[in-house]
Amino acid sequence: MAKKLELTLACGPYESVRALIEGTVAPDGVQFTVLTNMDSSTRHWRMLRNREFDVCELSMSSYLVAKDQGYPLTAVPVFLHRRFRHGFIFVNSAAGISEPTDLIGKRIGVKTFQTTAILWIRGILESEYGVDHTKVTWVTELEEDVEFNPAAGLSLERAPAGLTVEDMLVDGEVDAVLHPDLIDPILNGDSRVGRLFENYHEVELDYFRRTGIFPIMHVTAIRQELIEEHPWLPINLNRAFEASKEVAYKRLANPRVIPLAWFRSYLDEERELFGGDPWEYGLSERNRHNLETAIGYSHKCGLISRKLSVDELFTDPPIGQGRERYGRMV
């Protein structure tokens, strides 16, 4: 028997990759060691700074910057993480911010300027609400995953050592925070902090209905030399990730799996809204529009030097080629 290619896969512990983690689905010809015990920012840093993994779920925004700078990585269009972002704009209650344009001239805290969640929120605020990113002072908490030269006109500061942007928001040292996660003051019901869009769910539904965008947060990147040495690898990875996701969907069809009374109705409502698979992989027209929008945001704020094409960012072998055996493509 031919020896399988031994690779590391670093990703989140999502239901969509559970079958890969447990080994019930595997890419043909590959033996994975799956690493899930790290947060997203640690995983992205370790891949982009040290190239520690063979295949890695990676910040889309940082991947764009890395490709623009010639990093030896190529992604497959497997998007393990997406999230609507209108609900992640947090404001100091005393800052006088009740609508998006009130952010102009304010100090806004972010984990990094480059974070994908921040890329999307900043782009949406600018394109949909007229909040010019150069009319805001950006206060960053952490070092960027990929170093870049800030564009002329960009006001960028580092937060004081030892302070988080959440702390600064509570204390009024920044007026607002854009964040990839729910922050503690919101979870703890701190009255000093609120959301810009209290009705964020309705705003996000309207955004999707108008744009067709369910924002892609992460891509799945492969070390370039592996693709060059093993050109069969991308298609086999694509097929395995797709098969693992299908296993997850079949599992979720059982109403006993998720302890929510109306979970099935939520799932049906979501599929009706999206018109199919909300977590669609591949370079469909809808996914291309999603990616091209993010690329445009990245270029506009100076993270990348030119508008990269989708096709130079991804290798997208068609999953449907070949013959089917045991319920998965090989």
pLDDT at 252: 86
pLDDT at 321: 47
Out of 197-206, 229-238, 279-288, 308-317, which region has the weakest mean confidence (pLDDT)?
A: 308-317
pLDDT at 220 over 60: yes
Give mean pLDDT, residues 82-102.
98
pLDDT at 1: 61
What distance in Å separates the CA atoms of residue 34 and residue 203, rounded to the nearest whole number?
Answer: 37
Residue pLDDT, tens place only, 142-186: 999 999 999 999 999 999 999 999 999 999 999 999 999 999 999
Quick one: fold of 88-211?
A: D-Maltodextrin-Binding Protein; domain 2 (3.40.190)
pLDDT at 324 over 60: no
CB 208 within 8 A of CB 84: yes
pLDDT at 315: 92
* Residue 215, CB-side half-sphere exposure with 13 Å CA sphere: 26
Domain with CATH 3.40.190.10 in the chain: 5-82+216-329, 88-211
Q: What share of the chain has pLDDT > 90, as a percent?
A: 87
The closest of 167, 172, 204, 202 to 188, measured between CA atoms, is 167
pTM of the prediction?
Answer: 0.94
pLDDT category of residue 322 using cuts at 50, 70 and 90: very low
Q: Residue 105 carries which side chain, given as an amino acid letter?
A: G
What distance in Å separates the CA atoms of residue 51 and residue 235, rounded to the nearest whole number?
Answer: 22
Average predicted confidence (pLDDT) for the chain: 94
The pair of structure tokens assigned to 288 is: 């291309």
pLDDT at 319: 54
Give mean pLDDT, residues 120-147.
98
Q: What share of the chain has pLDDT > 70, as a percent?
A: 95
pLDDT at 326 over 70: no
CB 117 within 8 A of CB 83: yes
pLDDT at 323: 42
Backbone angles phi, psi at 310, to 5 degrees: -60, -40
| E strand map for 112-217 | 137-140, 155-158, 176-178, 193-195
pLDDT at 318: 62
Out of 41-45, 79-83, 99-103, 325-329, which region has the weakest mean confidence (pLDDT)?
A: 325-329
pLDDT at 263: 85
pLDDT at 327 over 70: no
Task: Report helix, strand or coil for 300.
Answer: helix
pLDDT at 253: 83
- Supply the CATH classification number for the domain 5-82+216-329: 3.40.190.10
pLDDT at 282: 96
Give mean pLDDT, residues 247-262.
87
pLDDT at 328: 35
